[in-house]
Amino acid sequence: MAQEADFKCLRCGNSFRAPYSPETEPQERACPNCKSNSVRRVKEQKEAPGKK
Amino acid sequence: MTYSEVENVTGYIGNFKVTIRKKARYVDEKECNACGDCVKVCPSCTPDEYQMGFSTRKGIYIPFPQAVPSSYLIDMKTCLGNNPIACAKCQEVCEKKCIDFDAKDEVVTVDVGAIIVAVGNDVYDPTELDEYGYRSYENVITSMEFERLICAGGPTEGHFIRPSDRTRPKSIGFIQCVGSRSKKRGNPYCSNICCMNTIKDTVLLKDHYPDTDVKVFYMDIRAFGKGFEDLYMKSKDEGVHYVRGLPGEVEENPETGNLIVTVENTTTGKIEKHELELLVLSVGLLPRKDSDVVRQLLTLSRTSDGFLMESHPKLKPVDAPTRGVFLAGCAEAPKDVKDSVTQASAAAARANVILASDKLTVEAITAHIDPDLCKYCGLCVKVCPYKAITPTDRKKKIAPQVIEAACAGCGTCGAECPFDSISMRHFTDAQIYAQIDAILDTNSQDKVVVFACNWCSYAGGDFAGISRLQYPVSNRLIRTMCSGRVKDEFVLYAFRKGAPVVLVSGCHFADCHYIDANRQTQLRVEKLWDKLEKNGIRPERLQLEWISAAEGQKFAVVMKAVEELRQKVTAEEIEHTKEVLAPKPKKKPVEEAASSA
């Protein structure tokens, strides 16, 4: 099953989930609400322990 | 050079070096006269791929009747073995002593000036379409299998029979668009050839067996092209029954092996059932799976349907984006024999232009590396979509060099270079900084700086203009050849100069004029969003849009949207941005721009 990640549209502020795989990045994405391509992946806040 | 594989390609237009593996045939093709004595004694047997598995072939065989050279080869996967030699009956009977079990693959390197990619296509496997019963019912076959069955050189020598009982079917149905024109299953595109192929098959059937009842189930018949409509009419006149509607279900009568096809005839609006003795699925075309190897070797790109992308759909339809490489046949898109021959002829002519020239004209807009500023990081080599930059060596302090014949001038290397050692002719940093200055020198709070790529977004703006679409005057465009040219420093400089909003705009991923340079744009913008956020600046103020040359409407919509965003940016935000992004003492782009101007 395809991995998914959270994304946020930087035009309309819409948050949504979309398929995401680090191996195939970057991918062209569009906000399902306003069709903008200014779509930013919402990264996890906490980093792995021991990571700089 | 047949029975060979390309392993590596280096170099550039006019100077390619191609490494080819000539696979061992185990039969001397110069001596073999295809007498066939070896085949008679060969004990090993396997399904014949060329005959779609309807017949078998031996371990020693000629792949297909028209193979060049017309000599046998041994398939070692089927042969009983050559190490140690397990059988060697073929060797014993070969009078000309052509067979050599010790033959090895040969790797050769050839220098060529141009390359034509004609890798062909695969066909759709309809197994996933459960409703048609392919692989469940013996008498459901594909159009490719039909071709073998009706061909005089096929497994039945042209005697048309159905697989289940080897009798001639008296009623035959064709289902169109199998694996084509569907967004849910198969492929969304039209495979171009299936309609005419089926019409040809129906005419062939009626010519050979006039008493056969032939039905075609279709969405719509696409009989464009010279003589195509005539053939369609001929097929109808000969009594072929065309039913407008694709079947929803196919069932088999287990006693007779006949197939019951349920279809909604959209012309009459009625559900119909048709009993047929054979059903042919008119399968669509797919890009070749192994074409990806060639794609990577030649730094080509694909369109969204998976076929190789041409340099320009109208002006350079046979040129690949990599200079000196040309496309022919179904490598570029599904096409019939006539179109393939036309494109192949055009590709050969285009290649000949290169081969006949003593000198080549390079792009005016290319990159130039200043070796004195280069720190040998190799980033430019990594991001160049054309492999047009020679490798660097940090230890030996060898700076990379731009192969101008291969450089297409996207500017990605210039944008990525952290040491400003790469300049783009006609799109220098100084020129772009000067444009930003010109836009933002007065009333900067009322402007949106828009970086637009030459081929798509800027052309989209033109299209919006000629379409009389209105968009706000606050948007000020800076043209770059590719969005990949937009350096992060250009964006930051615009913010430092007081830009409320910056938009970076380029081609859609599948349309990039520079193979995949706009992927670097996206990665760069993503880093910039992070950087802005880290500095307390709303990342929303940097927008990214992919706009094609045909999307004038989208261009206007985006321009209005960024204007709305601009109006929400406060004067305090702009001042804060200027402060936090204040230039470091070393970098003085304003002075650079001024001095160069």
Q: Rounded mean pLDDT of B342-361?
A: 94
- Would you state the structure tokens that stand for residue B458, as one six-digit string? 């800027």
- Would you state the structure tokens that stand for residue B377, as one six-digit string? 């990081």
Query: What is the number of helices (H) and of strands (E) in chain B?
Result: 16, 25
Interface test with A, best of B525, B540, B542 (most A CBs within 10 A): B540
| CA–CA min distance B593, chain A (Å) | 30
Give the distance from CA B377 to its chain's centroid: 32
Percent of chain B beyond pLDDT 90? Answer: 87
**Nearest alpha-carbon partner for B536 in B566, B565, B495:** B495
With cut-offs at 50, 70 and 90, classify the pLDDT of residue B597.
very low
| CA–CA min distance A15, chain B (Å) | 14
In a domain, A52, yes or no: no
DSSP labels, B112-123: ES-EEE---EEE
Complete domains list, chain B, with CATH = 24-104 (no CATH), 122-286 (3.50.50.60), 288-355 (no CATH), 362-426 (3.30.70.20), 438-596 (3.40.50)
DSSP labels, B457-503: HHHHHHHHHHTT----TTEEEEEESSGGG--HHHHHHHHHTT-SEEE
pLDDT at B335 over 90: yes
**Nearest alpha-carbon partner for B401 in B353, B367, B355, B428:** B367
pLDDT at A50 over 70: no
Residue A26 touches chain B, beta carbons under 8 Å: yes
pLDDT of residue B590: 55
In a domain, A26, yes or no: yes
Neighbours of A36 (CB within 10 A): 22
Q: What whole-number distance in Å separates Cα of residue B370 and Cα of residue B402?
A: 10
Q: Do B539 and A40 touch (CB under 8 A)?
A: yes
Cross-strand bridge partners of residue B178: B283
- DSSP H/E element including B294: helix B291-297
In a domain, A47, yes or no: no
pLDDT of residue B589: 56
Q: Do B561 and A40 touch (CB under 8 A)?
A: no
pLDDT of residue B312: 85
ipTM of predicted assembly, 2 dp: 0.89
CA separation, residue B490 to residues B83, B403, B442 (Å): 64, 26, 18
pLDDT of residue B163: 95
Q: Do B540 and A36 touch (CB under 8 A)?
A: no
Mean pLDDT for chain B overall: 93
Q: What whole-number distance in Å separates Cα of residue B385 and Cα of residue B365?
A: 15
Query: Which chain B residue has the Cα nearest residue A38?
Result: B544
With cut-offs at 50, 70 and 90, classify the pLDDT of residue B119.
very high
DSSP labels, B94-145: -TT--B-TT---EEEEEEES-EEE---EEE--GGG-GGGTBTTBTTEEEHHH
pLDDT at B321 over 60: yes
- Torsion B463-B467-B469-B475 (CA) sign: positive
pLDDT of residue B81: 87
In a domain, A25, yes or no: yes
The DSSP letter of residue B420 is S
The DSSP letter of residue B27 is B
**Could you say which of B509, B510, B544 has the minimum Cβ distance to residue A38?**
B544
Instruction: Report how many Cβ contacts below 8 Å link chain A to chain B.
Output: 38
Contact B196, B177 (CB under 8 A): no
DSSP labels, B534-568: HTT--GGGEEEEE--TT-HHHHHHHHHHHHHHHHH
pLDDT of residue B584: 67
Contact list, A44 vs chain B (CB under 8 Å): none
**Nearest alpha-carbon partner for B146 in B200, B210, B108:** B200
Interface test with A, best of B451, B527, B558 (most A CBs within 10 A): B558
Contacts of B465 (CB under 8 A, 6+ apart): B552
Total tally of structural domains belonging to chain A: 1
pLDDT at B214 over 80: yes
Interface test with B, best of A10, A20, A29 (most B CBs within 10 A): A10
pLDDT of residue B129: 94
pLDDT of residue A47: 53
Of the candidate ranges A37-46, B91-100, B257-266, B580-589, the one whose mean pLDDT is the lowest: B580-589
Q: Do B561 and A28 touch (CB under 8 A)?
A: no
Percent of chain B beyond pLDDT 70? Answer: 97
Query: Which chain B residue has the Cα nearest residue A11?
Result: B540
Q: Rounded mean pLDDT of B439-455?
A: 96
Cis amide bond preceding A26, omega within 30? yes
> What is the span of the domain harbouring residue A16?
4-41
| CA–CA min distance B68, chain A (Å) | 40
Q: What whole-number distance in Å separates Cα of residue B41 and Cα of residue B99?
A: 14
pLDDT greater at residue B303 or residue B164: B164
Of the candidate ranges B94-98, B210-214, B357-361, B466-470, the one whose mean pLDDT is the lowest: B357-361
Whose tokens are 């040969």? That residue is B106
Contact B308, B121 (CB under 8 A): no
**Nearest alpha-carbon partner for B365 in B301, B428, B312:** B428
Interface test with A, best of B448, B456, B505, B509 (most A CBs within 10 A): B509
In a domain, A33, yes or no: yes
pLDDT of residue A51: 45
B/e letters for B569-597, b = 16+ CB within 10 Å, e = fewer, are beeebbeebeeebeeeeeeebbebbeeee
Q: Rounded mean pLDDT of B545-556?
A: 95
Whose tokens are 């350096």? That residue is B487
Q: Do B540 and A34 touch (CB under 8 A)?
A: no
Query: Which chain A residue has the Cα nearest residue B502?
Result: A38
Cis amide bond preceding B69, omega within 30? yes
In a domain, A19, yes or no: yes
CA separation, residue B36 to residues B201, B264, B289, B382, B395 (Å): 33, 52, 33, 53, 61
- Residue B236 phi/psi, 5-degree rounding, is -65, -45
Q: Rounded mean pLDDT of B370-387?
A: 93
Kindly report, residue by residue over B238-257, the tens digit of the pLDDT: 999 999 999 999 999 999 99
Q: Rounded mean pLDDT of B367-385?
A: 94
B/e letters for B110-146, b = 16+ CB within 10 Å, e = fewer, are eebbbbbbbbebeebebeebeebbbeebebbbbbebb
Farthest-apart Cα atoms in chain A, separation: 39
**Nearest alpha-carbon partner for B248 in B148, B359, B344, B130:** B130
pLDDT of residue B397: 87
pLDDT of residue B92: 94
